[in-house]
Structure 1
Amino acid sequence: MSTAPEWLDIFGHDEPYDDQVDGIETAIETARESGFLALEGACGTGKTMLALTAGIELVRDPESSFERVFVLTSVKQQLRQFEADLRTINANLPEDYHPISAMTLVGKADVCPYNLGNAGGIDDSNVYERCERLRDRTRGLTDEGTTAGSLVDRAKSQQVGLADSKSGASYLEAGGEPTPFPRETPEAGEGNVEYCPFYAGYLDDLPEDGDPIEAVPFDPTDFGLIEPEDLVRLAAGHGSCPHSVMGALLPNVEVLIGNYYHAFDPTTVESFTGGLIDEETFLVCDEAHMLEPRVRDLVGDSVSDRAIEDAERELSRVIEPLSAVEEAGADARHGSSAREEAAAVRAELDETDVTLGELRDTRRFLTALGDRLDERVTDYLDEAVPNWRGNLPDLDDDEIPLRDPETPATDDLTRWAERHGFDSRIWTRSESVCAVAARVLDTLDETEKRRASPPVGRTLALWHRADHTDFFREIELERTWDDTRSAESWRRAYTASYSLHNCLPAGAIGDRLDSFGGGVLMSATLEPLDVFTEVTGLKHIEEEADRPVIERTYGLEFPEENRASFAVAAPKFTYGNRGDPDESGDETTSTRRAYARAIRQVAEAPGNVLVGVPSYREAEWAASVLEDTDKPVLLDEATDDVATERLKQEFFAGDPKVLVTSLRGTLTEGVDYRGDRLAAAIVCGVPIINTASPRTRAVRTAYDREFGDGFRYALAVPAVRKARQAVGRVIRGPDERGVRVLCDERYAKESWDSVRGLLGAAEREEFQPVGTEMLGYALDQFWEETVTR
């Protein structure tokens, strides 16, 4: 008789699936060898419980070196699933087990008592700047001899005074609980310096030489999952800073749940989570098919024309007092306040290695960069859109490459800078110069604001450091509108940015993954796994660091008779085949006629139907072919998150409807369509991004050079994952029934540009090819059989 595995005590349900058993044991065994499990598991596999069980078992094993599990997910719905599974685990632990301690990581805006209470002049727009400034002032007061405890007492005494006054002011409430402090931030010291009493409370609780965990005003072992609401209630109610308490808890809980920023954004890692990324941490990377594109965005950078202007003004603000005194010399008529301001600036500079000459040189560089940007954008628009000044509202987003995207070389801006005397020292020193300028301004200006100069300086330094092979530089034109700008200026219609893109983030991803002790990277759409391990640097880790990378693929566990899956051999839904929707009309091309027919046939399903097409323009066309359907048709447009959420809720409510959306939008991935929310989905075409875009061409070139097939790695695989995510919304539970349709012959046939081989093995078996003439019959047959069962 076999012995039950030890991890079964942690597993939150009565009986694991066979795939879960294999996955948990494989993850544990692989992590013990400092390796990673790359896992594709269809909906219903139980990936969340699988990964948590494996990680927690390793953390609880006294012979294991793992101290914590760090969960990363890019989708809020999945974050909630990890929280739910942790509650399930804790609710079903054996009686002699301590609860699994866990915490969800959030930003300051989510836990700041003043922001949550709409008090203290703090809101979402300024919470980060105000918080940092108030913390600095609080530390400054304690450095000057005022104790943190006395600051706490002063705030409480101000509260008493307010409560007794005619104003009727009350205690600030946060998390549904009263705090010990007033709604307005208190003041102390000479000049009545504003400070944060919650941060003072944290400093007062912080032992001088002890562990920061001692400053946590509650025992975390009394809890399982500590959610943001719990953190605010327990910390702010005590009079301590919830965000600081969260930082103290980080190394002391067994499971942390965050997003990709917490592990891959350089600024976040440096300031907050760096101590968690080591060989004692078991990584769970969820929705891992998004790892490559998300990290590519995080490890690139950009600086806008407006940021350059703001940074230039900030440097001028630092330079001007010194210049004024310098020009006035010993002239007694020069005001004492101006001399005092200049002395304050000089004192700050003397604490650094930044000189007045460097400040002037950097300001001159910023001025030249702004002028150069204006010149390049104007010249480009004059050539590409000759009548642009008369049609500013009609301009679209655009790109101006600064080198040939397919030929790695030094970019035009760097060459221009060299010709104009802006050498490497100007580029690299800009980071320090701009950081010092911001610091000086903070001593002169009492207004809380986010300084533009530090990020501008960091971007310029990175621009110079980054190589010209894996990085691509361009000017991005983002469609905005600013009535304060001249009607003759492109700045009225555009925000322009110097942008630096990391075309090949495998190195950055791999280096960061290599810092963890091991883990699981998982998704419902990870195949082809060989491509995934290469573009995320896992293959390099396996080969160079001798760390095992094990692959697993698990298909749908739900009854096959509940679903019908078709790969329709319709003509390729490419621009060349289908034509422009605005010019071709409703169904004037044979390709559009075939797709219109398929869309209508799928839309007849007895329930909600999702139609996914490659772009929002095509979504408008797809909605138009459904004008005569009996169901209401909802059209998703490129709008904000609020409008998208409203559209989603309208789709879920009431009688069956058809939702038409772009496959590049947010409604085809990470949205919960459980139960009767979705009966059928059709994907029209392969949603490959614009291959003519300079940035796309640069990425494809980098992938060609690194992996040998840039089109497959950079374009085809991500596109097929988008399609798989969309049809994967249909079947989310064992009792659900539905239809999944991939409509394009590239899914159905083997050919030079076929993508059928990019589907998972189980999907290739399930998505049987059918001709366009047979789809209607196959759909009718499925729904008839479903109704009779």
Structure 2
Amino acid sequence: MTRDDWRDIFGHDEPYPEQEDGIDAAVSVARQSGFLSLEGACGTGKTMLALTAGIHLTRDPDSDYERVVVLTSVKQQLRQFETDLQTLNENLPADYDPVTAMTLVGKADVCPYNIESRAGIDDANVYDRCEGLRDRTRGLTDETTAGSLAGRARSQQVGLADSGSDATAQFMEVLGEPTPYPPDTVETDGGVEYCPFYAQYLDDLPEEGDPAEAVPFDFTDEGLIERDDLVRLSASHGTCPHSMMGAILGHAEVVIGNYYHAFDPTTVGSFTGALLDDSTFVVCDEAHMLEPRVRDLVSERVGDATLRDAESELARVLQPLTLDGQRGERTTAGLSEARDLIRAELEESDVSVDELATLREFIRDLREEIADRIESHLDAEHRGWRADPTDLPDEEIPLRDPEQPGVDAITEWAESEGYTDAVWSRAETVGAVVGRILDEAEDEDARRAAPGTGRVLGAWYRNDHTDHFREIELERSYADADATNGWRGVYNAALAVHNCVPGDAIAERLGDFGGGVLMSATLAPLDVFEEVSGLADLESDGRPVEQREYELAFPEENRASFAVDVPKFTHDNRGYPPATASVDAGAESENDTRRIYANALREVAQSPGNVLVGMPSYAEAEWAAGVLDSLNKEVLIDESSGDDATERLKAEFFRGDGKVLVTSLRGTLTEGVDYRGDRLAAAVVCGVPIVNTASPRTRAVRTAYDREFGDGFETALTVPAVRKARQAIGRVIRGPEEVGVRVLLDARYARDSWDSVRAYLGPEREEFQPVSPDMLPFGLEQFWGE
């Protein structure tokens, strides 16, 4: 392979012109340790483009790149990368080695006991049980070898099979593959439960050297190692699939994961940190979601229930140090052993008993202060809530003026109560020690609350009061609502410290990589994206950044795109949905706006086939569904619900005759969903889906963006909202033979006014013809007639 000849590994006969240009640009800028920001419409072939560029660089002997890491926030896109990798491998020249690739998954997806519902392990407890079993397995190797532990499990299985019982039933099978172990976990003669799969891994693990030496099967010829393959190969050899994933990680040419694998500090520290260096070519897919997802990952929160559990854990550690033990010899002996364990851990970690006691008191008082603030807020905003708290909405209680940076009320309260900086700054260390003590002292497999609580309290203390915003979050708990328990019966309350400007965190992580591609179908305006994602900062530090924008390449005659000049779909114009609107002087004009939108929605919804309607909220989606109910067409309404309900709704939409699906643009049905073929004939978006600007958190983010970028409303609110709209209408045309209509309802899409958003519509902005509401029916009729 020559230095710049990537065509041998390209997965198809010939690249599209956009792919050829994009691959060349990505390779060129990556050789300079830079990044390509790329907007490419559906059909551009962005996945193959990025994979080809990255794999070409990893196989170039003159390049320092050793692997490609793909990050995406959408499961469907993850599957697309897997599909394109298989295509690429199938079409490699005969003398080329296959590209070794792996998708990162969680313990719940690969644990043999969880998959087969054995050993009391399920999705709810698999992480805690796994860590407990691993800890005990490692602990047992102080007394015996890991090989002996695995051998004991194998012999128990054999013994059961030889005892005359049904031999088949004694083998544990995982995804149809037999393992060498009995169906449940194993115990030592002393009754200590351990995991034989993990014991076998420890036995195979070299004392020094490459962990891949512990892999008992050849993974270099596997190409893409999918989840089921990883589980079957590992379990059949009696070793831990999750540990195998970690062992193979450093040798895979392509690793596919989620954003949290690179940006969540906890995940990076425990698992994927070795991938984050300048020998890695990174691909950030669906990059329009990078900023909001990372903002959430680098923000911190701790719930009221977690604070309660942390206080209890501190009490359990303190108790043996304060009891006198005068309750019998056995009790005295047990206390003495517990004291010795606790004192040894405290001495080793340089944590004092006074620090334990102070942190416990602090957390207790903090919970009381939070409760007082919640009750005061509810008394002021929702009179009578104590009689029936079940109707309370989600709430945010700001702890400072969102638009005036300053010290928050909780920090001021703590200082007034005599809790010094030392309490905050040492909380993380003290919490970690408590977690280690309880893990060793208690048999129960449990996720400890004290370490996480200490981490959040430490972050609360360290983070500034300018780019970070602190508040109390109240989230409704509909499943377990209990009006008899006051606000705690209906709310999950949490202290939260939000990182308003995550660009620095994104830039810091991207700077760890050697270079790469950040891409999406809705990334424009690219200059704004580069500002808020930190790419502009990297460029100013000497890391080059290139831009590419590629339009929809499918035949224009197959689609009609309208920007309808109707009154802005804002609260001032439309008011509340009629079911909740009050009758006042403005009701007539509000009804006029809604009447205009209702007529336009009916026109689009009568398109032949399935129609998707995107509204700014679920409340507005309910209104729109009511407006369309009179059509001679089934109307489905999406509600804020779990994944299973959403999947059932989607399947119903795709089945049978044409229907209308009404949803919120903040839901999951307008991004990353496959509407290929005849699954969707039209999509219409009502308004510019800007988030609630009255929310304290939103106001804090906007203020921080005003200070950082000059126009917070544009960068923090308007541009992300238009991307949501573009994602929704982008569901319609997914292939060269597909036909459909795309409609944006709102004057801001149609006019070049002071608040116009036409400039944010990307490379296709000129396709969206501004039309009056009266002309929309004629345009639709003409298109479908042709």
Q: TM-score range by the shorter chain?
A: over 0.9
The number of aligned residues is 777
Q: How is 1:112-511 mapped onto 2 (pairs within 5 angstroms)?
A: 112-144=111-143, 146-165=144-163, 168=166, 169-188=169-188, 191-325=190-324, 335-480=332-477, 487=484, 489-511=486-508
CA root-mean-square deviation: 1.7
CA distance in 1, matches of 2:34, 2:435: 44
After superposition, the C-alpha distances for 1:252-280 in whole angstroms (9 at most, x for unaligned) are 01000001011000000000000100000
Name the structure 2 match of 1:573: 569
CA distance in 1, matches of 2:662, 2:319: 57
CA distance in 2, matches of 1:500, 1:748: 39
Between 750-759 and 520-529, report the one with greater CA deviation: 750-759
Between 158-167 and 672-681, report the one with greater CA deviation: 158-167
TM-superposed CA distance for 1:351, in Å, is 2.8
**Which letter does structure 2 place at the counterpart of 1:556?**
L
Name the structure 2 match of 1:659: 661
Name the structure 1 match of 2:757: 755
After superposition, the C-alpha distances for 1:146-192 in whole angstroms (9 at most, x for unaligned) are 11111111010111122234664421111320111111111226x23
* Paired residues of 1:51 and 1:284 also in contact (CA < 8 A): yes
**Which letter does structure 2 place at the counterpart of 1:224?**
G
TM-superposed CA distance for 1:391, in Å, is 2.4
3-state DSSP of counterpart to 1:388: coil
3-state DSSP of counterpart to 2:141: helix
* Paired residues of 1:133 and 1:448 also in contact (CA < 8 A): yes
3-state DSSP of counterpart to 2:743: strand
Q: Per the alignment, do residues 506 and 589 of structure 1 end up closer, same or farther by CA in structure 2, a change over 3 Å counting?
A: same
Name the structure 1 match of 2:780: 779
**Which letter does structure 1 place at the counterpart of 2:175?**
G
3-state DSSP of counterpart to 1:98: coil
TM-superposed CA distance for 1:438, in Å, is 1.4
CA distance in 1, matches of 2:329, 2:278: 64
**Which letter does structure 2 place at the counterpart of 1:557?**
A
TM-superposed CA distance for 1:416, in Å, is 0.6
CA distance in 1, matches of 2:347, 2:188: 28
What residue ranges of structure 1 are gaps of 5+ in the alignment? none
Q: How is 1:65-84 mapped onto 2 (pairs within 5 angstroms)?
A: 65-84=64-83
**Which letter does structure 2 place at the counterpart of 1:662?**
S
TM-superposed CA distance for 1:583, in Å, is 4.5
3-state DSSP of counterpart to 1:487: helix
Q: Per the alignment, do residues 608 and 483 of structure 1 end up closer, same or farther by CA in structure 2, a change over 3 Å counting?
A: closer
After superposition, the C-alpha distances for 1:378-399 in whole angstroms (9 at most, x for unaligned) are 1111111121112211100000
CA distance in 2, matches of 1:750, 1:382: 46
Name the structure 1 match of 2:40: 41
Q: Per the alignment, do residues 618 and 431 of structure 1 end up closer, same or farther by CA in structure 2, a change over 3 Å counting?
A: same
* Paired residues of 1:389 and 1:488 also in contact (CA < 8 A): no
TM-superposed CA distance for 1:339, in Å, is 3.1
Between 93-102 and 338-347, report the one with greater CA deviation: 338-347
Matched, 1:528 2:530: no
* Paired residues of 1:481 and 1:492 also in contact (CA < 8 A): no
CA distance in 2, matches of 1:703, 1:11: 41
Q: Per the alignment, do residues 212 and 154 of structure 1 end up closer, same or farther by CA in structure 2, a change over 3 Å counting?
A: same
CA distance in 1, matches of 2:330, 2:173: 53
Name the structure 1 match of 2:14: 15
TM-superposed CA distance for 1:200, in Å, is 1.0
Q: Per the alignment, do residues 45 and 332 of structure 1 end up closer, same or farther by CA in structure 2, a change over 3 Å counting?
A: closer
* Paired residues of 2:552 and 2:764 also in contact (CA < 8 A): no
What residue ranges of structure 2 are gaps of 5+ in the alignment? none
2:543 to 541, 547, 554: 547
CA distance in 2, matches of 1:372, 1:235: 51
CA distance in 2, matches of 1:558, 1:5: 29
3-state DSSP of counterpart to 1:99: coil
CA distance in 2, matches of 1:429, 1:167: 57
Q: Per the alignment, do residues 355 and 628 of structure 1 end up closer, same or farther by CA in structure 2, a change over 3 Å counting?
A: same
* Paired residues of 1:689 and 1:715 also in contact (CA < 8 A): yes
Matched, 1:640 2:636: no
TM-superposed CA distance for 1:333, in Å, is 11
After superposition, the C-alpha distances for 1:675-720 in whole angstroms (9 at most, x for unaligned) are 0000000000000000000000000000000000000000000000
Name the structure 2 match of 1:607: 609
3-state DSSP of counterpart to 2:179: strand
TM-superposed CA distance for 1:334, in Å, is 6.9
Q: Per the alignment, do residues 377 and 522 of structure 1 end up closer, same or farther by CA in structure 2, a change over 3 Å counting?
A: same
**Which letter does structure 1 place at the counterpart of 2:200?**
G
Q: Per the alignment, do residues 481 and 734 of structure 1 end up closer, same or farther by CA in structure 2, a change over 3 Å counting?
A: closer
Between 656-665 and 209-218, report the one with greater CA deviation: 209-218
TM-superposed CA distance for 1:4, in Å, is 12
* Paired residues of 1:479 and 1:493 also in contact (CA < 8 A): yes
Q: How is 1:28-107 mapped onto 2 (pairs within 5 angstroms)?
A: 28-107=27-106
**Which letter does structure 2 place at the counterpart of 1:642?**
D
- TM-score of the superposed pair, with normalisation by structure 1: 0.96
Name the structure 2 match of 1:734: 736
Q: Per the alignment, do residues 363 and 50 of structure 1 end up closer, same or farther by CA in structure 2, a change over 3 Å counting?
A: same
3-state DSSP of counterpart to 1:80: helix
* Paired residues of 2:3 and 2:62 also in contact (CA < 8 A): no
* Paired residues of 1:482 and 1:492 also in contact (CA < 8 A): no
* Paired residues of 2:395 and 2:473 also in contact (CA < 8 A): yes
After superposition, the C-alpha distances for 1:87-112 in whole angstroms (9 at most, x for unaligned) are 00000001110101100100111111
CA distance in 2, matches of 1:548, 1:774: 47
CA distance in 2, matches of 1:408, 1:683: 36
**Which letter does structure 1 place at the counterpart of 2:608?**
P
**Which letter does structure 1 place at the counterpart of 2:520?**
S
- TM-score of the superposed pair, with normalisation by structure 2: 0.97
Matched, 1:681 2:683: yes
3-state DSSP of counterpart to 1:97: coil
CA distance in 2, matches of 1:697, 1:763: 31
**Which letter does structure 2 place at the counterpart of 1:681?**
A
**Which letter does structure 2 place at the counterpart of 1:83?**
E
After superposition, the C-alpha distances for 1:286-321 in whole angstroms (9 at most, x for unaligned) are 000000000000000101111100110011011111
TM-superposed CA distance for 1:354, in Å, is 1.2
Q: How is 1:610-629 mapped onto 2 (pairs within 5 angstroms)?
A: 610-629=612-631
Name the structure 1 match of 2:555: 559
After superposition, the C-alpha distances for 1:438-479 in whole angstroms (9 at most, x for unaligned) are 111122211111111110110000100011110000000011
After superposition, the C-alpha distances for 1:64-97 in whole angstroms (9 at most, x for unaligned) are 0000000001000000000000000000001110
CA distance in 1, matches of 2:643, 2:331: 55
TM-superposed CA distance for 1:345, in Å, is 2.6
Between 25-34 and 337-346, report the one with greater CA deviation: 337-346
TM-superposed CA distance for 1:486, in Å, is 6.9
3-state DSSP of counterpart to 1:219: coil
**Which letter does structure 2 place at the counterpart of 1:547?**
R
